[in-house]
Structure 1
Amino acid sequence: MSETAYEVPYFQEKYGHLFSEMDAIFNVLHEGICISNAEGVILKMNPMYERLCGLPPEALLGKEVRFLNSKEGVFDEAEPHADLVEEQKGIFMGAVSPVILKSKRPASSVQQTSGGRKNLLHGYPVLNADGEVELVVTFIRDISHLTLFKEQIEYHKHIFQTFWSNIQHGAREVSAPDAVVVESPAMKQVMAQARKVAATDATVLILGDTGVGKGEVARYIHSRSDRSGSTFFCADCTSIPENLIESELFGYARGAFSGARREGKPGYFDVAAGGTIFLDEIGELSLNVQAKLLRVLQDQEIMQVGSLKPKKIDTRIIAATNVNLEEAVAKGTFRQDLYYRLQVSVLDIPPLKERLEDIQPLAQYFLERYNLKYRKQFYFSDDVMPMLLRHGWAGNVRELQNMIQGIVITLDKRVIEPEDFPRLMPKEAVRGSRSYVPVQGQGGRPLKEIMAEIEYDILSKAMEGCHSMEQVAEMFQVNRTTVSRKLKAGKKQG
């Protein structure tokens, strides 16, 4: 049978004046077209309609849409010719003609065929001069592939959501309160106090030397608080230039000064709205900024630079410093009223050398962490831990962390021995005398000098395994000039 538009014999007689010369157009359309009359009888269709329905023309032409048998795809003479009855499930499930004949308005539907195909139907009425439906023109398009595509999207969406949920769960496990490594009685007491203040919305002041883990305790408090689902924003007060610290903390209003953003700029307190802001090294703030911070604590509002109207905020403040604030108040470098305002809840973290029970679990924790990050499988020999316990740890937990990270990055063998540690350790221990008992501390050496040696050792060993300084910079997430400067500084000291 040639591919031409199919029609019942009397179609041309009655409707030829409407559709002369239309067959050529019907035959090239990518959509199926079906024309039925006011009684719902199919009068004409194109080859695409036949293919989409999966039935030959003789099974469709001259049949009423609503009485097509769903299983056989043929006219069922036993069906009663009552007013619009519900279509049977099958090839014309979802047919639009009966709906249009009743409403005289366009209609759309999804048609499910007996072969499992899904078609999208759009039907339009053709009204006569009396406003009655004379014809119904139905366009049909195969959407099986779209349905399959949608199902695939939903499936992959489910996979992604499951994957993301696992990531979130894993992240919560890593940063959960129980993940804080604590074994010493002193730190257990600090963490017990942290759990108590976490349940409140009180301001917290964390004291302790550089590198003891003040930031980790702050995150612990946030994770245990009612604000855990909101932002935890860390603001290092020492890294912000003095002339910008006010605008960075509180933001600035529109047109505050020349060169500013036209629409203004939100500050750190805006970013942490509803959550927690961690002000690290608060003792380094100027007296002017301290006065503004005092207003935040007292009135829960900030004043943006260039604005005359205060702005209410809902942000919990956790502050930290390695400065002796009592001495700073006595010297006049820290406001007394702010100091008292921060005294609501104070946590004092002891240095690592005073909590030796934490050294071994911390070292093991950092080793496992960087083994996972860099896909390594290092482990400590039995001689390493006694040496770590005897070291002074002037740089506290941060020193231990950086040292182990450097070893994992640069070491070629799997077993970590005492001689594999950087030069921050006593020279006698590095030379291989495992029975040597190093002295406590570093003999009064400046922390800056010790840290410079650590960085030089890590970077120089990394240079041996990398092709360029750019690769080393990328590995440690710093710029090339930083790597070059630290290598030169360490070489001079060596």
Structure 2
Amino acid sequence: MEDTKGNNSDKGKVNMCLNLERIKDIFNSLDVGVHVVDGKGITVLYNKICEEIEGISEDWIVGKDMKKLVHDGVYSESVALEVIEKGQKTAKTQKVNGRYIFSTGIPIYENGELINVVVSVMDMTSLENLKLQFNELKSVNVRMQKELDILNAIDGQNDSIISKSKEIENIKILALRIAKVDSTVLIEGESGVGKGIFSKYIHEHSNRKNGPFVKVDCSSLPESLIESELFGYEEGAFTGAKKEGKVGLIQLANEGTLFLDEIGELPLNLQVKLLNLIQDKVFQKVGGTKNISINTRIIAATNKDLYTMVEEGTFRRDLYYRLKVIPIVIPPLRERKTDVVPLVNFFLKKFNDHYNYEKIISAKAMNLLINYDWPGNVRELQNEIERLVVTSESEVISEVDVLYGDIGKTRSMDIDENKLFKENVYSYERALLEDYIYRTSDIHELSQKTGLEVSTLRKKAKKLEVDLNFQKRKNS
């Protein structure tokens, strides 16, 4: 019996040894990485999948201490060491040789003593890359959506800014982009270019569009009243003040947009208060001591050269830079001639509808409007179209109608540098004769006004290819 027991025991030991020999082969056949360390953190087994995932060879890592591998930066951290420290199952994502690895460590005990930690390893690099790509695509999608919103707004039927020029279209895109933030904006440009329209355009496309839009014309308020109008005042702040005090324009713009037009006209003493308002978002009423918090976006506009004013000491440098976080410069109408025709058509329809007319503009009249410099910019063009709609006797607005206005008073010869001198003289002489004809009723009056004989005028008109049919011109 004793011999039999001894034989069975030896067979069990042999079988166990055989099983241990086969463990490595079994681990190598698995689809996951297996990394086994002993109770001290020394690697004892490392399968082929682990080699592929972590980029480390079995021959190199077996016998290595995990503490040293973490210290040397081979591993960012060790699940096995954490299991040894805590004595319980642990799972986490770590970085090994630049790859993202998800590892799960399981403690193995024998007679209450930790003898091994088995770590299963899965490569998460592809998943992490997909996650990064997904987040990047989300970010791109958000940016594209914003750009699409901008383009949709530009293509909208109710666009308040009429233009065709690339310059204004680019400014519209910028305005729509900055409408979504609360940064201070400084709009610069000559009188009449549309600074006020752009300020309202920004407000209407912003998150504050349901809040108030308060315009303050700094040039129209008397210096003695501008502070109390802007900031308001408390009861008894000065002689003549209302008993109950007054809410200022700044406070009225709370949760909305405050548009400070002609900011260059703001007195220096008030520039300090405005600077503090922009920086701290609080202000005090005239005669008050209590700080009032305000949540408003500030858009300023000017037709002056604020930089020169800063250099001259008439405008605060710190306020200038506070206002000019986002600068917008609107070019004059003479520098964007392609906007004239759409603006003419817009205002023509507007005043036709208003006065119940159906006036149209002749091609020659339109040509005069296009070639005029418009020193008063869009505002002057609007007023001119209203004048033409109201005063023209015919349903067709002619050259004569246009020349009776300021355009006729300031018309000068346009020299074409691509033409010879005599060709420019011919063009100017023809235009000059046409102007005289437009201002006279017949050939005899024309002769009196020009000082030329009738026969001379007929020869000149024939040479210049000018029509002397006055009646036709009156009806044109």
TM-score class normalised by the smaller sequence: 0.5 to 0.7
Q: Contact between 1:418 and 1:429, CA under 8 Å: does it hold in 2?
A: no
Residue 220 of structure 1 pairs with residue 193 of structure 2: no
Cα 1:283–1:362 change in 2 (3 A) is same
Q: Distance in 1 between matches of 2:165 and 2:270?
A: 37
Q: Distance in 1 between matches of 2:298 and 2:391?
A: 39
Q: Contact between 1:250 and 1:270, CA under 8 Å: does it hold in 2?
A: yes
Q: Contact between 1:426 and 1:438, CA under 8 Å: does it hold in 2?
A: no
Cα 1:287–1:340 change in 2 (3 A) is same
Q: Deviation of residue 405 (structure 1)? A: 1.3
SS in 1 for 2:344: helix
Matching residue within 390, 396, 419 for 1:415: 396
Matching residue within 241, 245, 257 for 2:238: 257
Q: Distance in 2 between matches of 1:332 and 1:429?
A: 40
SS in 2 for 1:426: helix
State the partner residue of 1:368. Answer: 349
Note the aligned Cα RMSD (angstroms).
2.5
Q: Contact between 1:250 and 1:266, CA under 8 Å: does it hold in 2?
A: yes
Name stretches of at least 5 consecutive residues in structure 1 with no aligned partner. 1-171, 440-494
Q: After TM superposition, list the pairs within 5 Å mapping 1:83-94 onto structure 2.
A: none
SS in 2 for 1:367: helix
Q: Contact between 1:429 and 1:438, CA under 8 Å: does it hold in 2?
A: no
Residue 425 of structure 1 pairs with residue 407 of structure 2: yes
Residue 311 of structure 1 pairs with residue 311 of structure 2: no
SS in 2 for 1:178: coil
Matching residue within 198, 207, 212 for 2:188: 207
Q: Contact between 2:160 and 2:201, CA under 8 Å: does it hold in 1?
A: no
State the partner residue of 1:268. Answer: 249
Residue 291 of structure 1 pairs with residue 272 of structure 2: yes
Q: Distance in 1 between matches of 2:253 and 2:157?
A: 20
State the partner residue of 1:119. Answer: none
State the partner residue of 2:362. Answer: 381
Q: How many residues align?
A: 264
State the partner residue of 2:305. Answer: 324
Q: Contact between 2:218 and 2:263, CA under 8 Å: does it hold in 1?
A: yes
Q: Distance in 2 between matches of 1:199 and 1:191?
A: 13
Q: Distance in 2 between matches of 1:382 and 1:423?
A: 17
Structure with the largest fraction of helix: 2
State the partner residue of 2:316. Answer: 335
State the partner residue of 2:142. Answer: none
State the partner residue of 1:391. Answer: 372
Q: Distance in 1 between matches of 2:264 and 2:158?
A: 27
How high is the TM-score relative to the length of structure 1?
Answer: 0.51
Cα 1:428–1:300 change in 2 (3 A) is closer
Q: Distance in 1 between matches of 2:374 and 2:400?
A: 17
Q: Distance in 2 between matches of 1:192 and 1:438?
A: 41
Q: Contact between 2:235 and 2:243, CA under 8 Å: does it hold in 1?
A: yes
Q: Contact between 1:208 and 1:321, CA under 8 Å: does it hold in 2?
A: yes
Cα 1:353–1:315 change in 2 (3 A) is same
SS in 2 for 1:279: strand
Q: Deviation of residue 419 (structure 1)? A: 1.4
Cα 1:291–1:197 change in 2 (3 A) is same
Q: Distance in 2 between matches of 1:340 and 1:176?
A: 36
Q: Deviation of residue 316 (structure 1)? A: 1.1
User: Deviation per CA, 1:234-270, whole angstroms, max 9, x where unpaired?
Assistant: 1111100011000011111111112110000111112
User: Deviation per CA, 1:136-169, whole angstroms, max 9, x where unpaired?
Assistant: xxxxxxxxxxxxxxxxxxxxxxxxxxxxxxxxxx
User: Deviation per CA, 1:35-56, whole angstroms, max 9, x where unpaired?
Assistant: xxxxxxxxxxxxxxxxxxxxxx
SS in 2 for 1:278: strand
User: Deviation per CA, 1:282-331, whole angstroms, max 9, x where unpaired?
Assistant: 01111011111101100111221100112111111110001111100000
Q: Distance in 2 between matches of 1:341 and 1:220?
A: 21
SS in 2 for 1:393: coil
Cα 1:438–1:227 change in 2 (3 A) is farther
Q: Distance in 1 between matches of 2:258 and 2:409?
A: 43
Rg: which structure is higher?
A: 2
SS in 1 for 2:320: helix
Q: Deviation of residue 176 (structure 1)? A: 7.8
Q: Distance in 2 between matches of 1:419 and 1:228?
A: 45
Q: Distance in 1 between matches of 2:246 and 2:157?
A: 33
Q: Distance in 1 between matches of 2:157 and 2:272?
A: 35
Q: Distance in 1 between matches of 2:298 and 2:158?
A: 19
How high is the TM-score relative to the length of structure 2?
Answer: 0.53
SS in 2 for 1:346: strand
Point out the more displaced range, 281-290 or 406-415.
Answer: 406-415
Q: Distance in 2 between matches of 1:374 and 1:315?
A: 39
Residue 197 of structure 1 pairs with residue 195 of structure 2: no
SS in 1 for 2:328: strand
SS in 1 for 2:224: coil
Q: Distance in 1 between matches of 2:176 and 2:339?
A: 19
Q: Contact between 1:353 and 1:392, CA under 8 Å: does it hold in 2?
A: yes
Q: Distance in 2 between matches of 1:273 and 1:427?
A: 48
Q: Deviation of residue 370 (structure 1)? A: 1.1
State the partner residue of 1:234. Answer: 215
State the partner residue of 2:72. Answer: none
Residue 351 of structure 1 pairs with residue 332 of structure 2: yes
Amino acid at match of 1:320: A
Q: Contact between 1:249 and 1:267, CA under 8 Å: does it hold in 2?
A: yes
Point out the more displaced range, 405-414 or 367-376.
Answer: 405-414
SS in 2 for 1:394: coil
SS in 1 for 2:388: helix
Q: Distance in 1 between matches of 2:218 and 2:346?
A: 29
Q: Contact between 2:276 and 2:283, CA under 8 Å: does it hold in 1?
A: yes
Amino acid at match of 1:325: L
SS in 1 for 2:300: strand
Q: Deviation of residue 182 (structure 1)? A: 1.6
Q: After TM superposition, list the pairs within 5 Å mapping 1:447-466 onto structure 2.
A: none
Amino acid at match of 2:228: S
User: Deviation per CA, 1:351-379, whole angstroms, max 9, x where unpaired?
Assistant: 00000110100111011111111211111
Q: Distance in 1 between matches of 2:240 and 2:367?
A: 58
State the partner residue of 1:3. Answer: none
State the partner residue of 1:113. Answer: none
State the partner residue of 2:49. Answer: none
Q: Contact between 2:341 and 2:366, CA under 8 Å: does it hold in 1?
A: yes
SS in 2 for 1:244: helix
Amino acid at match of 1:399: E
Q: Distance in 2 between matches of 1:290 and 1:438?
A: 52
Q: Deviation of residue 280 (structure 1)? A: 0.5
Q: After TM superposition, list the pairs within 5 Å mapping 1:135-146 onto structure 2.
A: none
User: Deviation per CA, 1:159-185, whole angstroms, max 9, x where unpaired?
Assistant: xxxxxxxxxxxxx99x98623112111
Amino acid at match of 1:227: R
